[in-house]
Amino acid sequence: MNALPAVRRRVRASPAPREGRAAAARSAAAPDDYHDAMRGPAGEPSRRRLATLGALAASVLLLSGCQGSPLELVPVPSEPGRPVTTTPPISVSFAPLRGTMIEAPLGHPALGVKIDNHEAARPQIALNRSDIVFEELVEGGITRYLAVWHSDVPEEVGPVRSIRPMDPDIAAPFGGIIAYSGGQEHFVGMMMATELVNLVFDYDDSGLFHRADDRPGPHDVILAAQEAVARYSELAPPPVQFAYGSADPLAAPALAATPTSSFDLAFSDARFPGWEWDAAASAWLRWQEGEPDLEASGERVRATNVVTLRVGIDWSFGEVPRTVMVGSGEAWVSAGGRTAHGTWSKDAPGSPIVLTADDGSRLRLAPGNTWVELVPNEGSVTFHP
């Protein structure tokens, strides 16, 4: 018997987040050296004593965000024996998916959404407000995105499309919510087996989805993103995914970084995006198939970091390629107009991606938004000085 009615009941039976899912999301933690070192006893904020408050941006952000937990900075004597004037400690919080300093911890869950990248789906809505975007190969040689919003959740995002078999492995480390239009029964079952709250347009009566009148179907499904996050606000915020370096956007991601003006990626003959460094914007600007890539606001799609991973493709699902996410491979981190080479690894479906430099140290990103390009081993990656 077709299993979709059962899946439908499961979605409709979950108008509010389950404690089991929230607990599972709260228990997730990134294997990040800074995160492990800075995390205090349960329920306590992490603390770090710095020599001067002026070293805040240069020193604190050499460390990755601590799941949004506040960090108290307390001044210490500059000379031994010299008294210190007592001042209230400064509490600093970090956005876990950007590594940027924020005024207060972000207590809401992350929202992952499967985003269409068909020509008829462009321009997409609010990609520049996302924290992390993954680009993946799908059937026909085209690509789709799995975008994650947490630091800045827009009112609407889209167009929303169906999931593919690698999406559970991409989305699981973030916890929280995953939204998509539907998918093959087996793929939907794989996503339902994660601890994520699933919002599915094809068999959902939540009112969170609608079809846009000004877009052609099936590239017209839009999600009320802010409302979705508010409805499941009791879910835990996401754990840290990457390590971050200096607050200076022009800082190299590693000592052995190479100046890079632009780079070209080829997923297939049908999809060959690229990025060019814009020093004035302190960002990488994206193009697709030789044309500037714009989002619905009219702005050029941009990123502080572009992480390029060489990945294997599993063809056991017939014509639907599955990006192999659990494993390891070659990696590049592009930030500040420079690129560092290294490797990536992911130990389990629910584990974050770990980036390691060629010298064995952690590859660190610049604080800001990130695109992760999952380029097949059969594709190509070309950097230009």
**Type of residue numbered 310:** R
- Give the chain's radius of gyration (CA, Å): 21
CA distances from 107 to 26, 179, 346 (A): 11, 20, 26
Q: Is the pLDDT assigned to residue 34 strictly greater than 70? A: no
Q: What is the pLDDT of residues 80-98, one digit of tens each?
A: 666 656 566 666 799 999 9
Q: Is the pTM of this model over 0.85?
A: no
**Are the beta carbons of 60 and 51 closer than 8 angstroms?**
no
* The two structure tokens encoding residue 380: 């190509």
Residues 6 or more apart whose Cβ sits within 8 Å of residue 167: 114, 136, 146, 178, 180, 187, 191
pLDDT at residue 8, as a whole number: 32
CA atoms within 13 A on the CB side of 11: 27
CA distances from 192 to 188, 202, 237 (A): 6, 14, 20
Q: What is the pLDDT of residues 104-146, one digit of tens each?
A: 999 999 999 999 999 999 999 999 999 999 999 999 999 999 9
Average pLDDT for the chain: 83
* The two structure tokens encoding residue 353: 């991606």
Domains, the chain, ranges and CATH? 38-94 (no CATH), 107-231 (3.50.90.10), 258-384 (3.50.90.10)
